Amino acid sequence: MKKVILLMSVFLSLMSCADKKTEETVKEPETVYAEFGTKIAPDNALTKEEMFEKFKGLKEGDTIDVKFKSKINDVCKKKGCWMAMELPEEKEAFVKFKDYSFFVPMNATNEDAIVSGKAFISVETVDQQRHYAKDGGKSEAEISKITEPKITYAFQADGVLITQE
């Protein structure tokens, strides 16, 4: 009888060790984020591809509340008061921060970020672009190359998460 109890104890001990080992190998390391603005959770963020599709479905004057994740292509080098986030087809979302109430690190370029807020588009007409080009000292040849409206994919973020290494 003692042998049966001993064997059962050893068997149960081995089984509990095997379960713990399985749990450890399945776990993935959690991403650590620096938080800016309103606190947001990293879950349920759209991919940059899904966000681009949302942008393409907007017309001027539309806004949508959304959260998406992408790579930061550029950050304002003076204050960190805006950033450009990667979209497909070599496009970018131009992100500003709600009420100018927070900034992001100026060295955040090439980091992954999650932004939460309002997405919208703005359309600059050919005449507006030509006017700005003229004011900017562009040549007549450069100005005459402006032939299509320019669509800006814009985003007003109230919260931002940036990955930390």
Domains of the chain: 31-164 (2.40.50)
Provide the whole-model pTM.
Answer: 0.74
Which residue type does 113 have?
A: A
Distance between CA atoms of residues 156 and 165, nearest Å:
26
Residue with tokens 């998406």: 68
Distance, in Å, from the CA atom of 2 to the CA atom of 143, rounded to the nearest integer, reads: 95
Contacts of 5 (CB under 8 A, 6+ apart): none
**pLDDT score, position 22:** 42
Ranges under pLDDT 50 in the chain: 4, 6, 18-23
H-helix or E-strand spanning residue 37: strand 32-37
pLDDT of residue 66: 98
- The encoded tokens of residue 118 equal 């309002």
Cα dist. 83→54, 95, 115 in Å? Answer: 19, 5, 11
- Could you write out the three-class secondary structure of 75-86? ECCCCCCEEEEE
Tokens in use for 119?
Answer: 């997405």
CB-neighbour burial class of residue 129 (10 A; exposed 0-12, middle 13-18, buried 19+): middle
User: If you ran DSSP here, which 8-state letter would residue 46 be given?
Assistant: B
The pairing of strands 91-97 and 112-124 is unpaired
